[in-house]
Amino acid sequence: MTKIPYSKAPLSFIGQKRNFIKAFRHVINANIIGDGEGWTVVDVFGGSGLLAHNAKHLLPKATVVYNDFDGYVDRLNYIEDTERLRQQIYSAIEHLPRQKALSQNDKEVVIGIIKSFDGFIDVHSVANWLLFSGKQVRTLDELYSNTFYNTVRRSPYEQATGYLDGLVVTTESYTTLMARYKDQPKTLFLLDPPYLYTGQGAYNQEKYFAMVDFLYLMSLTRPPYIFFSSTKSELMDYLDYLKQLNNDDWQKLGGFERVTIQAHVNHERAYEDNMIYRF
């Protein structure tokens, strides 16, 4: 395990919660003692694994389950190929203005490099280098259909040494995972679900996260939990609705603490991110 925990994920991931890491660490330290002995922490929608990694670092005696909902472990396994491809693309366009759209000729040069690359291609990292901020794609063909920008990462990727150490890695539906642990009182749920009517996870899940999915998730949620949401989700509106009803669901989910930050998609778009928690 690393001596100093990662404060951001080794590879790009939309919504990795790095802006909440300081607050997340504070909440964990304030509410779980004894290095987490006897505790289980379940990162239900594991994403980049950043929350699970930090939880294990803070609670070395706890069992920490990382649900690799988006295939992030596979991406980490090929980080050397990703760095090699980054170097090739960066060398080809480093002389061009940063943050500006590539000409069609320069775009074709980059596409040629990608098509001739002899290793694993992490389309999500490549999209992060070449597309407008926050733009996501699932395939190389979809990538090629977009305007390219010169935003290639300048610093090299390093091996993600110790990032997954000590974690129990699984890949399964949140429904089966939460059902297995929901009746265990010393199990903390980390919850960062997709927003309603968006794809499940940033990359691999094609099905939309619909209202029924959200309601089923809330039926499985109970304290202790740490739940992430934003003004782009329905969570806070749903909790306000429960508060007005003051029913059993509110008694189960209400009484939480809240941390709020202003997040930015790019220089033009901002929104409010929330971390709510109850122990």
pLDDT of residue 199: 53
pLDDT greater than 70 at residue 26: yes
The β-bridge partners of 189 are 42, 225
Q: How many beta carbons lie within 10 A of that of residue 77, not counting itself?
A: 11
DSSP string, 118-143: -S---HHHHHHHHSSTT---SSHHHH
- Domains in the chain and their CATH numbers? 18-71+171-278 (3.40.50.150), 77-144 (no CATH)
Instruction: Give the confidence band of 266 by pLDDT, cuts at 50, 70, 90.
Output: low
The mean pLDDT value for 53-74 works out to 96
AA identity, residue 6: Y
Residues near 246 by beta carbon (within 8 Å), at least 6 away in sequence: none
* pTM for this prediction: 0.89
